[in-house]
């Protein structure tokens, strides 16, 4: 069958032009998903894909009913590109011709939660709230709430005021981890939280300093976590005289200024400064109540200025640049000493530290087991990945320790060069229950 649009060869140019202006009326195809009474308005006379070439379906006005029709296959998936996809119905069309917006879906008791990969369009509103209205996110919590976990939301500093935290007069623990809080925090946001004991601001954007004014509303806090922020100077917080645990891990602190932590001298027992840029142990002398001092992953070269820490039980200086064990004479209460990943060549300077239960000197350059036979309370001795050549010192240094239960010596020449290494350790140290990562089989 010939195509009705084929042009006979005998037509003149004038007839040919007149013939082209006559467009046959086609039946509008059934478009999947569009019911009777609907029609598709592309709003584009150029066609479906917005281009006027011969390969594109064309949209023309019918002279009789003025309705727009689609020429094509009739599948909704074909309608792409330049189409505006405005689907209208008589019921859904306003007087001015505009389409009524679809109402937002509302969920009854859902909480507002913004995850890090969420989109503002995906916000969930409480029943009765309008879009754009700032509601009370915590209205489902009673005034007697003691623990609030507001972790991994996308809270920004101005949002703290809208949380109305001051109404929780009996709040004990407040977690604001992994948000987008920046300094300064509004002081009134934490006003009245006099029973608050723990505040966690880990992994935000606070800094370069945190001022006393920002936190003075929770003056009875005992645990304050400011880790993983952008803090360059340890905070001076004279209003918070009850803090006994202060976390400042993974910030940008290069040194501790004189007097900046003296406000905590009467209460602080645990100080964590790991993962910073500290080059020297200094200006901590006033913290005489310290029981735990964590200084791992810094740039410290010398063990110094520790003489006032007679109450210290745990000292961690892993991953620094220390080459000699020294300056520990006054640490008479020391129980755990962590010195792995440094440049230490000799075990020494532990004569006064007779309460040690854990000694970690792994990943150094130690060549011999020595200087520990007097540590009768030692339970764990970690010396993996050093340069210890043989096991000759087991009987003189480790065998006299009755409480020794765990020994790590893997990664030393004495282990890699001796196929009977494990058997020799077990025979020399019958009190040991674990050699490296494996428990000793009870016979």
Q: Which of 364, 371, 416 is nearest to 386 (CA)?
A: 364
DSSP state of 394: I
In order of 34, 177, 315, 331, the CA distances from 305 in angstroms are 80, 33, 13, 11
Phi, psi angles (nearest 5°) of residue 78:
-80, -15
33 or 255: which leads in pLDDT:
255
| Cβ-contact 61, 68 below 8 angstroms | yes
Q: How far apart are CA 426 and CA 432, in angstroms?
A: 7
* Mean pLDDT, residues 232-249 taken together: 97
Q: How far apart are CA 163 and CA 141, in angstroms?
A: 11
Neighbours of 371 (CB within 10 A): 15
Q: How far apart are CA 277 and CA 300, in angstroms?
A: 9
- Whether the CA torsion 232, 319, 285, 237 is positive or negative: it is positive
Name beta bridge partners: 434. Answer: 406, 439
Q: Determine the pLDDT at residue 50.
A: 33
Q: Which two tokens stand for residue 411?
A: 């990664």
- Whether the CA torsion 47, 48, 50, 55 is positive or negative: it is negative
Q: Determine the pLDDT at residue 237.
A: 96
99 or 414: which leads in pLDDT:
414
Q: Determine the pLDDT at residue 73.
A: 34
In order of 90, 140, 421, the CA distances from 229 in angstroms are 57, 30, 46
Q: Determine the pLDDT at residue 441.
A: 76
**Number of residues assigned to the chain:** 443
Q: Give the distance, in angstroms, between the CA of residue 46 and the centroid of all CA atoms in the same chain.
A: 51
- Beta strands at 86-88 and 147-149: parallel, antiparallel or unpaired: unpaired
Q: Determine the pLDDT at residue 96.
A: 43
In order of 334, 367, 390, 409, the CA distances from 414 in angstroms are 29, 10, 5, 8
| pLDDT > 90 fraction of the chain, expressed in percent and rounded | 67
Collapse the DSSP code of 120 into the 3-class scheme (helix H, G, I; strand E, B; otherwise coil) and give the result.
Answer: helix
Angle at 226 (CA atoms; ends 163, 291), nearest 5 degrees: 130
**DSSP structure string for 293-347:** EE--SS------S-TT-TT--EEE--SS---S--S-TT-TT--EEE--SS-----
The answer, as to whether pTM is greater than 0.85, is: no
229 or 137: which leads in pLDDT:
229
* Mean pLDDT, residues 273-277 taken together: 98
Q: What's the number of CA atoms in the CB half-sphere (13 Å) around residue 309? A: 29
Buried/exposed 214-238: b ≥16 CB within 10 Å, e otherwise? bbebbbebebbbbbbbebebbbbbe
Angle at 31 (CA atoms; ends 30, 37), nearest 5 degrees: 75
Q: What is the mean pLDDT of the chain?
A: 78
Q: Determine the pLDDT at residue 298.
A: 98
Beta strands in 134-197 (DSSP E): 147-149, 173-175
Q: Is residue 21 scored above 70 in pLDDT?
A: no
Q: How far apart are CA 376 and CA 357, in angstroms?
A: 9
* Mean pLDDT, residues 318-346 taken together: 98
Q: Is residue 110 scored above 50 in pLDDT?
A: no
107 or 149: which leads in pLDDT:
149
* Mean pLDDT, residues 424-428 taken together: 96
DSSP state of 19: H
* Mean pLDDT, residues 261-278 taken together: 98
| Cβ-contact 289, 269 below 8 angstroms | yes
Q: How far apart are CA 278 and CA 153, in angstroms?
A: 31
The per-residue pLDDT for range 33-92, each reduced to its tens digit, is 333 333 333 333 333 333 333 333 333 333 334 333 333 333 433 334 333 333 333 333
| Cβ-contact 245, 222 below 8 angstroms | yes
The per-residue pLDDT for range 348-400, each reduced to its tens digit, is 999 999 999 999 999 999 999 999 999 999 999 999 999 999 999 999 999 99
Collapse the DSSP code of 441 into the 3-class scheme (helix H, G, I; strand E, B; otherwise coil) and give the result.
Answer: coil
Q: Is residue 109 scored above 50 in pLDDT?
A: no
Q: Determine the pLDDT at residue 100.
A: 37
Collapse the DSSP code of 423 into the 3-class scheme (helix H, G, I; strand E, B; otherwise coil) and give the result.
Answer: helix
* Mean pLDDT, residues 158-163 taken together: 92
Q: Give the position of tokens 């060869």.
A: 9
Burial class (CB in 10 A: 0-12, 13-18, 19+), 74: middle
pLDDT band at 14 (very low <50, low <70, confident <90, very high): low
Q: Which two tokens stand for residue 120?
A: 């503002």
Q: Is residue 260 scored above 50 in pLDDT?
A: yes
């Amino acid at each position: 069958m010939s195509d009705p649009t084929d042009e006979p060869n005998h037509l003149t140019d004038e007839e040919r032009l007149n013939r082209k202006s006559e467009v046959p009326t086609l039946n509008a195809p059934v478009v999947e998903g569009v019911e009777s009474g609907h029609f598709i308005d592309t709003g584009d006379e150029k066609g479906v894909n917005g281009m006027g070439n011969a390969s594109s379906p064309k949209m023309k006005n019918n002279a009789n009913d003025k309705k727009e029709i689609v020429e094509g296959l009739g599948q909704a998936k074909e309608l792409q590109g330049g189409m505006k996809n405005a689907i209208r119905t008589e019921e859904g069309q306003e007087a001015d011709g505009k389409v009524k917006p679809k109402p937002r879906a509302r969920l009854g008791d859902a909480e507002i939660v913004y995850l890090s990969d969420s989109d503002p369009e995906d916000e969930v509103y409480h029943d009765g709230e309008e879009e754009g209205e700032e509601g009370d996110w915590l209205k489902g919590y009673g005034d007697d709430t003691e623990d609030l976990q507001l972790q991994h939301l996308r809270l920004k500093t101005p949002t703290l005021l809208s949380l109305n935290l001051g109404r929780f007069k009996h709040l004990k623990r407040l977690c604001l981890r992994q948000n987008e809080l920046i300094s300064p925090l509004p002081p009134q946001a934490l006003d009245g939280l006099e029973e608050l004991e723990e505040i966690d601001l880990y992994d935000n954007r606070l800094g370069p300093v945190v001022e006393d004014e920002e936190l003075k509303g929770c003056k009875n806090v005992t645990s304050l976590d400011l880790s993983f922020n952008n803090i360059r100077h340890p905070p001076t917080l004279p209003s918070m005289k009850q803090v006994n645990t202060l976390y400042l891990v993974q910030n940008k602190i290069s040194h501790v200024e004189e007097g900046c932590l003296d406000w905590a001298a009467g209460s602080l027992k645990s100080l964590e400064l790991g993962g910073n840029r500290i080059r020297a142990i200094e200006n901590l002398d006033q913290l005489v109540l310290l029981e735990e001092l964590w200084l791992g992953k810094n740039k410290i070269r010398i063990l110094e200025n520790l003489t006032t820490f007679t109450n210290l039980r745990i000292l961690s200086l892993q991953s620094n640049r220390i080459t000699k064990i020294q300056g520990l004479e006054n640490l008479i209460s020391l129980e755990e000493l962590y010195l792995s990943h440094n440049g230490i060549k000799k075990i020494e300077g532990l004569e006064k530290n007779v309460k040690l239960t854990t000694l970690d000197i792994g990943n150094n350059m130690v060549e011999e087991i020595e200087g520990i036979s007097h540590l009768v309370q030692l339970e764990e001795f970690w010396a993996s990945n050093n340069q210890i050549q043989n096991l000759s010192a087991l009987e003189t240094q480790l065998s006299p320790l009755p409480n020794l239960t765990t020994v790590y010596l893997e990664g030393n020449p004495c282990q890699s060069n001796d196929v009977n290494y494990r058997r020799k350790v077990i025979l020399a140290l019958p009190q040991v229950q674990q050699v490296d990562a494996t428990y000793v089989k009870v016979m």
